[in-house]
Amino acid sequence: MNYLMRRLATFPLVLLGVSIVVFLAIRMVPGDSITAMLGTEAGLLTPQQRDALAAYFGIDQPWFIQYWRWLLGLFQGNLGISSTYGRPVLDVILEHFPLTLELALLSMVIALLVGMPAGIFAATHNEKLSDLGVRVVAMIGQSTPNFVLALLIIYTLSAGFGVLPAMGEFSPLWQDPLRNLGQLLLPAITLGFAFAASVTRISRSAMLDVLSDDYVRTARSKGVSARGVIWRHALPNALIPVVTLSGIEFGYLLGGAVIVEQIYALPGLGRMVLDAILQRDYALVQGSVLFIAFNFMIVNLLVDLAYVALDPRIRLSEH
Amino acid sequence: MISLLSVSGLRVGFGRNPQANEVVRGVSFDLADGETLAIVGESGSGKSVTALSINRLVDYGGGRITGGSIKLRRADGSTFDLTAAAEPQLTKIRGGEIGMIFQEPMTSLNPVLTIGWQIEESFRLHRGLTGRRATAAAKDALDRVRIPDAARRLKYTPNQLSGGMLQRVMIAMAIACNPRLLIADEPTTALDVTVQAQIMALLAELKQETGMSMIFITHDIGLVAGIADKVMVMQGGEAVEQGALNQILDDPQHPYTRHLLHAVPHFAGGGATRRDAQREKQKAAEPALKVDGLVVRFPVKGGFLSRTSGAVHAVDGVDFELMPGETLAVVGESGSGKSTTARAILGLVRSTRGTISASARKAAAGQSALPVQMVFQNPYGSLNPRLTVENLLAEPVIATGGRITAETRAKMAALLKRVGLPENSLQRYPHEFSGGQRQRLCIARALMLNPSVIVLDEAVSALDVSVQARVLKLLIELQREFGLAYLFISHDMAVVERIAHRIAVIYAGQIVEIGDARSVLSEPKHSYTKQLIAAVPTIDRRHERFELDTRQVPSLVRPLGFEPGPANWQQFGPDHRARVEV
C-alpha cells in the first residue's frame, strides 16, 4: 500500500516533464494553427485579422505564458478546447479511447492465446523440425510490417471470398456488440499477429531457460509427468518475461495504432492524434500525449504488481 | 531373487554420437536392502551421471544409456529393467520407489510454489491423496525431517528458509512416499560444515527408521566414513575400486584411492599443521597488516518513508595482526562476516569504523605496488572472459597508473612460469584453462603489484580435491619465496589445517577464538569452535553419531545504536585466547 502511494506520487512529476517536452516540440514544428485551419485562405487575412485570431486562440503570448495558462487549466481539470473539434479536449479523447482500448485488449488476448502455446510447444520440441517451423513463422510475424498484413487480409477476403471487412460508421461495443466485434476482429488480428510472434519467441526462450533449472529436475525425480512439469513447475517461472513484453506492447497499443486504424478506417486514438498534429491543434496534442503517457505509467505499475503476484521472491520497494 | 538394485556394465554417452562420447564406461555394482553405497570421485569422474542413470533423469541432460543393464527389484518382487523402461513407467518409479536429493537445495526447489504444495505433490502423485489429507501428510513429512513448527512452515516459499532447512525439505519430499532407494547426489556440498553434520545425522537416522537403501555420491572420502557400508571409487568414467567401507579406507589397493586418502587434505585435528611458524622469529618486526576495531554495518531500512530502523552487524569489532610470511586463517560459517572482513580490508565495502594499516613494500622506480591484493573463490567468474591472459595480468599495473614496459612483460612471463602455467599462455583466453589453472592465473595476477599481503577468500573451495592440494602447495611455496602474508578465509577446516600458522574463528561478526593453529584445532576452547571442529568429517570417525541441533542461527540485525559489550578474553597459552562466554 505504502509502495503504491509512493509510485502514484511520482506520476505528476513524470507527466509534468512529458508535458513540457510536448509543449515545446509541437511549437518547434513550422506552421501554426491558423494557417493549418484556413489553408490557402489564410493568405487573405489582414495582419489585424491574423492577430485577432491569434489572440483568440491564445497563441500570441510567449510560450511560457501559454504553458502556464495551460497548466493552470490542467489543475482545474480543464485540458482546453480543441481547435478542430471545438469541444473540450478530454471529451474528444474519451470519445476515441474506448475503441483503442478494445483493440489493444483484443490484440493482446489473441497474442497470448496464440503465442504462449506456440512458444511452449517450440520449447518442448527444441531443435526438432516442428520447433524450427514455429520459429520461422514467428520470425515472419515479427518482420512483416502490419500494413502489409492488413492489405493481405483485406485482399484475400475480398478477392478470395468476395467479402469486405465491416467498414462504415463505427459502432461501440455497448450499442451493437456483434457489429463492433466484426469491425474490430480483423484489425485486432493484424496487430495481434506481430504481437503473438514476439510472445512466441519470448515464451520459447523463457521456457527453455526454466526447463534446464534444478527444480525442474527435482520435479522429474519426484515422478511428475512431462505435462505436469511444463504446466505446474516450469510455466509459472517462465511468465515474468512474457508479462514484461506484453506490458510494453500493450502500453504502445494504448497510444493508438495509426496505420492499422487508417487502413480499416477506424476512429481510434492514433488517427485522432495524427490529425491533431497536422492541424496544429495544440490543446488536443498536449492533452492526448499526457493521456497516453498516463496510461503507459498505469500499465507499468500493473506489470510490477503482476511480478509480485507471480514470484514471491520479488518484493515491492523503491529499488 | 536379485538384490534391490543390480547395475552391470553400465555405459552412458552424451551428444549426437553417444557411443563416441561415453562418460561412464562399464560400471557394475549391487545394492542390497538397507545398504548404503558411497560413490566417490572428482568432477568428471562420472559419479553423478551414474546416479542419474538409475532413475533415468540422465535422459533430460542429453545422455543416452549405450550399454549394460540396471535392474530394480520392485515392491511386488518383480524385476524391472530401467534401461529399457518407457517414460510412463518411469514416472511411477521416480519418487515412488527411487527418491533423489541434489547438491543445491537453494535452487532445487521451485521458487514460486510453497514448500507445502511441493511436498503434497508427491503424495498426490504416488498415494492419490488430496486436500486436507495431503496437507496432513506433508506436515508429517516435515516432522519426520525434524523441522520445528512444521504446520506453519508449509506455507513458506523456498526463499524464506535457510539452505540447511531447504535440504531437509528436499529430503522430506524425496522420502515422502517411502522409496526403497534414496539417491543423494552431493547433498551437503553446498552447506556449512555444522549443517552438513546435521544433514548426515538425519540421513543416518532416517535410514535406520525406514530401512531404505541409499546411494551417496560425494567428492569427499572423509564424509563416507560416517554413513557408507560399501564404497565405490570412480575415475574417468570407470569404477577403479570397490569394496566394504573398512577395506577401502584401511587397505586401499588402487593408486587413485590411495591418492584420495593420502594426498588430499583431510582433517587431522591439529596434527597436520605447519611447523614453520613465523611469530617467534620476528618478534620485533612490523606487522604486514594490522586491523584494529573493524566494524562493518549495513543499514536496514523499513517502515514509512524508509527510515533506517536498524543495522546488520556484519563485522562487529574485529582486531588482529598479521606478520610477514605468516598465514592467518579466518574460519567461520556463511553469514559469519569473514568475507565482509576481507572486503573491508580491500576497501571493497566501506567500514563503519576501525583502522586498517598495511605496510607496503618499496617499489622499484616506475613500478607500481599495492600492499594488499586479493584472490577470489570462483576462478570462472573472476577473470574477464574477453581479455587475454596478457591483458588480465597487465590490468592491475594499468589500474594503478603504471605502464607496460619490457620489464612488466618479463615479470608476467616469470610469474606465469612460477605458478606453473605453460609459456604460451599469454595470448590465450581464460576459457582455455581448467579451474585449477585459472586459480593459478588469479594468483599470478595478485602478485603483479608486489603485495605484502594477499587475501585469499575461499580461494581453493571451488576446486577439485586433488587440484586443491596442488594449489595449496603452490601457495605455501610462494609464501616462503616472497615472504608473503596470507589472510586465508575458508570454511574448510581440512584445508585450513594445511596452510594456517594461526587461526581466527569468527562467529556472528566477532572473533571468538584466535591463536596458534595447532593449539586451536587440537584444544578448542570456545563452545562454537568445539562445535565447528566436532562437525568436520574425518576418515577415522566411522558411523559416529552427531547430535541433531535444530537451533537457528542468531540474527545479526540489531536495533539502531546497539553496541556490543566489551570483549573479555581468556588466555590459554602463549598464543591462544578465547572470548569468555556469558
The model's pLDDT over A203-226, given as tens digits with 9 standing for 90+, comes to 999 999 999 999 999 999 999 998
- Cβ burial, residue A116 (10 Å; 0-12/13-18/19+): buried
Share of chain B above pLDDT 70, in %: 94
Closest listed residue to residue A57, CA positions, set A279, A293, A313, A289: A279
Name which of A3, A4, A213, A222 to mutate to probe chain B: the one with the most chain B Cβ atoms within 10 A of its Cβ: A222
Pairing of strands B576-579, B502-507: unpaired
User: What is the average per-residue pLDDT within B489-517?
Assistant: 92
φ/ψ of residue A9, rounded to 5: -65, -25
The larger pLDDT score, comparing residue B338 to residue B276, is at B338
In whole angstroms, give the CA distance from residue B456 to residue B444.
13
- Cβ-based contacts of A217 with chain B (< 8 Å): 57, 60, 102, 108
User: What is the average per-residue pLDDT within B502-531?
Assistant: 92
Q: Indicate whether B184 pLDDT > 90.
A: yes
What are A67's three cell numbers?
A: 504553458
pLDDT tens digit string along B473-484?
A: 999 999 999 889
Query: CA of B115 to nearest chain A CA: how many angstroms apart?
Result: 12
Name which of A5, A127, A208, A215 to mutate to probe chain B: the one with the most chain B Cβ atoms within 10 A of its Cβ: A215
In whole angstroms, give the CA distance from residue A96 to residue A291.
12
Angle between helices A89-124 and A129-143 (to 10 degrees): 160
What are B312's three cell numbers?
A: 546488520
- Cβ-based contacts of B159 with chain A (< 8 Å): 312-313
A311 touches chain B (CB under 8 A): yes
Weakest-pLDDT range from B148-152, B298-302, B334-338, B520-524: B298-302
Contact: A222, B60; criterion CB under 8 Å:
no
Q: Indicate whether B27 pLDDT > 90.
A: yes
Angle between helices B163-174 and B193-210 (to 10 degrees): 20
What are B578's three cell numbers?
A: 578465547
Pairing of strands B181-185, B353-358: unpaired
pLDDT tens digit string along A246-296?
A: 999 999 999 888 888 888 888 889 999 998 988 888 889 888 998 999 999
First to last CA, chain A: 16
Q: What is the DSSP string of A138-176?
A: HHHHHHS-HHHHHHHHHHIIIIII------SS---TTT-
Computed from CA positions of residues B551, B555, B556, B562, in that sequence, does the dihedral angle turn out positive or negative? negative
In whole angstroms, give the CA distance from residue A223 to residue A228.
10
In whole angstroms, give the CA distance from residue B209 to residue B203.
10
Query: Mean pLDDT in chain A?
Result: 86
Query: Mean pLDDT in chain B?
Result: 87
A224 touches chain B (CB under 8 A): yes
Weakest-pLDDT range from A189-198, B445-454, B538-547: B538-547
In whole angstroms, give the CA distance from residue B152 to residue B560.
30
User: Which pLDDT score, from 0 to 100, does residue B402 have?
Assistant: 80
- Cβ-based contacts of B87 with chain A (< 8 Å): 226
User: Which pLDDT score, from 0 to 100, does residue A10 have?
Assistant: 85
Weakest-pLDDT range from A85-89, B145-149, B500-504: B145-149
Q: What is the DSSP string of B3-34?
A: -SEEEEEEEEEESS-TTTSEEEEEEEEEE-TT
Query: CA of A121 to nearest chain B CA: how many angstroms apart?
Result: 17
pLDDT tens digit string along B110-142?
A: 999 999 999 999 999 998 888 899 999 999 999
| List of residues 6+ apart from B552 with CB closer than 8 A | B162
User: Which pLDDT score, from 0 to 100, does residue A316 have?
Assistant: 65
State the Rg of chain B over Cα: 26
Q: Indicate whether A319 pLDDT > 50.
A: no
Q: Indicate whether B507 pLDDT > 70.
A: yes
In whole angstroms, give the CA distance from residue B246 to residue B228.
10
- Cβ burial, residue B194 (10 Å; 0-12/13-18/19+): buried
The larger pLDDT score, comparing residue A312 to residue A139, is at A139
- Cβ burial, residue A115 (10 Å; 0-12/13-18/19+): buried
φ/ψ of residue A250, rounded to 5: -65, -40
User: Which pLDDT band holds residue A318 (cuts at 50, 70, 90)?
Assistant: very low
Grid cell 494557417 — which residue? A35
pLDDT tens digit string along B144-173?
A: 888 888 888 899 999 888 888 899 899 999
> Per mean pLDDT, which of A107-111, A158-162, A185-189, B266-270 is the most reliable?
A107-111
pLDDT tens digit string along A27-80?
A: 887 777 777 777 777 777 888 888 888 887 777 788 888 888 888 888 888 888
Work out the widest C-alpha separation in chain B, in whole angstroms: 82
B128 touches chain A (CB under 8 A): no
For residue B369, give the DSSP letter.
-
Closest listed residue to residue A218, CA positions, set B55, B74, B34, B204: B55
pLDDT tens digit string along B37-83?
A: 999 998 889 999 999 999 999 988 888 999 999 999 988 888 889 99
User: Which pLDDT band holds residue B328 (cuts at 50, 70, 90)?
Assistant: very high
- Cβ-based contacts of B125 with chain A (< 8 Å): 222-224
Q: Closest chain B residue to A232 measured between Cα atoms?
A: B113
User: What is the average per-residue pLDDT within B566-578?
Assistant: 89
User: What is the average per-residue pLDDT within B333-344?
Assistant: 87
pLDDT tens digit string along B418-465?
A: 998 888 888 999 988 888 899 999 999 999 988 999 999 988 888 888
Pairing of strands B5-14, B63-73: antiparallel
Weakest-pLDDT range from A173-187, B6-20, B79-93: A173-187
For residue B425, give the DSSP letter.
G
Amino acid at residue number B507: Y
User: Which pLDDT score, from 0 to 100, does residue A168 have?
Assistant: 65
User: Which pLDDT score, from 0 to 100, does residue B541 have?
Assistant: 74
In whole angstroms, give the CA distance from residue B70 to residue A11.
64
User: Which pLDDT score, from 0 to 100, does residue B18 have?
Assistant: 87
User: Which pLDDT score, from 0 to 100, does residue A112 have?
Assistant: 95
Number of H helices, E strands in chain A: 14, 0
A315 touches chain B (CB under 8 A): no
Say how many C-beta atoms besides its own lie within 10 A of residue A206's C-beta. Answer: 23
Q: Closest chain B residue to A307 measured between Cα atoms?
A: B112
Share of chain A above pLDDT 90, in %: 37
Alpha helices in A29-88 (DSSP H): 33-38, 47-57, 63-75
Pairing of strands B510-516, B289-302: unpaired
The larger pLDDT score, comparing residue A176 to residue B470, is at B470
What is the pTM (predicted TM-score) of this model?
0.82
In whole angstroms, give the CA distance from residue A221 to residue A214.
11
In whole angstroms, give the CA distance from residue A163 to residue B164.
67
In whole angstroms, give the CA distance from residue A203 to residue A122.
9
B223 touches chain A (CB under 8 A): no
Computed from CA positions of residues A120, A121, A126, A130, in that sequence, does the dihedral angle turn out positive or negative? negative
What are A303's three cell numbers?
A: 506489470
Name which of B82, B110, B169, B301 to mutate to probe chain A: the one with the most chain A Cβ atoms within 10 A of its Cβ: B110
Q: Closest chain B residue to A311 measured between Cα atoms?
A: B112
Q: In what order do the strands lie in the sheet with B22-31?
A: B22-31, B5-14, B63-73, B79-81
Q: Which residues, numbered 71 to 100 in chain B, qualify as contacts with chain A under a Cβ-Cβ cut-off of 8 Å?
A: 87-88, 90-96, 99-100
Chains A and B form CB pairs within 8 A to the count of: 79
What are B489's three cell numbers?
A: 578465509
Share of chain A above pLDDT 70, in %: 96
Contact: A312, B109; criterion CB under 8 Å:
no
- Cβ-based contacts of A236 with chain B (< 8 Å): 110, 112-113
- Cβ-based contacts of A220 with chain B (< 8 Å): 57, 60, 94
- Nearest by CB to residue A221, choosing from B55, B113, B304, is B55
User: Which pLDDT score, from 0 to 100, does residue B312 have?
Assistant: 85
In whole angstroms, give the CA distance from residue A312 to residue B406.
56
Q: Indicate whether B182 pLDDT > 50.
A: yes
φ/ψ of residue B33, rounded to 5: -60, 135
Cβ–Cβ under 8 Å, residues A162 and A170: no
Grid cell 575400486 — which residue? B241
